[in-house]
Structure 1
């Protein structure tokens, strides 16, 4: 990922620590030949490019037209072929199945949790508990996985990874947290740090955010 100078358009989520953490999890996966991979919420296309470089047939989806444009340009600049679709989460790939689904969804709890985020905030604001999109992924992703297929999802500890694992297990998948990384607060978390502490999502002693990767596998 670091070797590519990705184009980042205004309002498109730039590759950050969560992208790097998920890229590392992707590198651990042994993909079948010509694997079919879905990168949902692709942003600049960084994860989609990483998968395509391994010979996968990649579909990337984003609700932002600017992200769709950025992903297409970055794929071309990286010398890989990626099918990029505009749409809300899994809607553009209804009826398709994949060997691997990658997801870096919005996951930061937001004070104005009842309102749909707009503009760039769509990349991080995820309702009062941070699970506006996570719960939908837990409901809908299992149907997109082929037997033996894998979902790799990155989220913050602020939005209850154990709930994610529980929902995926209830759907019949083998699920667990496989990677963790603590990072300094970014501008979004810093801007609502007091609110997060008041809600008990951050303790008074915490001065870092924990990111995790959840891996879930469809039984064969």
Structure 2
């Protein structure tokens, strides 16, 4: 039986819609185009027939989506600041806010002399920050660290497929980085409190790694530990860039308000929420 692309896409959209998926047509198109490894635009004009195996895989993916699995995981990748970042359940799905952070870091560092400088992406996850920054600023050495071996496997794959060299380290916080000194640090760390974690949407709590989200009772665990441990790993005049929770700006600014920390600035995302914090050391 011939299964034309357009007919399959339409039946897939109807399947999603009948099961309560709001953006059913768009999601069916994205899932099918990712499966066929073609753009959505070319899919619109496709007149080919699909093999039985592709047809079956398409509806298996639709069923995963109906069950509540995030669209990005069903597709298997996220486009992130001119990079394609593969993902699975071992890593956090890169969000728009993190893409804004990557762009912010690139814009702040690009005017500087970066030859011989080293940037650390702490809690790298999928590697999206490290990879995007390295592609935009190839002269800087980029180091990426994470406690999760599974996340680092994904990050290494993403670095290779995006054609960048990054030095990866596995371990807890700065533990695997002894002897290293950094000129820049960027991090999208866990920053969700225990209470807020319990109230997360099921698409997040069931499908994304708890360790990449939860940061103790208050959500401040990472930042407090960074303030205690980071100085011995930072060169003079080092710059630091964090993603933060929307309600954490004042607390983080207060945490880093004393010497040798300086120039702490809270910045907002596109929704006008506190989302980024940058600072320097003397």
Q: How does 1:36-185 map to 2 (within 5 A)?
A: 36-53=118-135, 54=137, 55-111=139-195, 120-158=209-247, 160-181=248-269, 183=271
More strand by share: 1
Between Structure 1 and Structure 2, how many residues are aligned? 190
8 Å Cα contact 1:112/1:128 also seen in 2: no
Q: Which runs of 5+ in 2 are unaligned?
A: 1-79, 198-204
Residue 276 of structure 2 is matched in structure 1 by 213
Output the TM-score relative to the length of structure 2.
0.62
Q: CA deviation at 1:68?
A: 0.4
Give the Cα–Cα distance (whole angstroms) in 2 for the partners of residues 131 and 38 of structure 1: 20
SS of the residue corresponding to residue 128 of structure 1 reads: coil
SS of 1:10 mapped into structure 2? coil
> Per the alignment, do residues 86 and 17 of structure 1 end up closer, same or farther by CA in structure 2, a change over 3 Å counting?
same
Runs (5+) with no aligned partner, structure 1: 184-208
Moved more, 171-180 or 92-101: 171-180
Q: Which secondary structure does the structure 2 equivalent of 1:51 belong to?
A: helix
1:181, CA displacement in angstroms? 1.3
Q: CA RMSD in A?
A: 2.3
Q: Distance in 1 between matches of 2:245 and 2:196?
A: 18
1:90 and 1:125 map into 2 onto residues whose CA distance is 19
User: SS at the partner of 2:254?
Assistant: helix
User: How many angstroms apart in 2 are the aligned matches of 1:101 and 1:174?
Assistant: 15
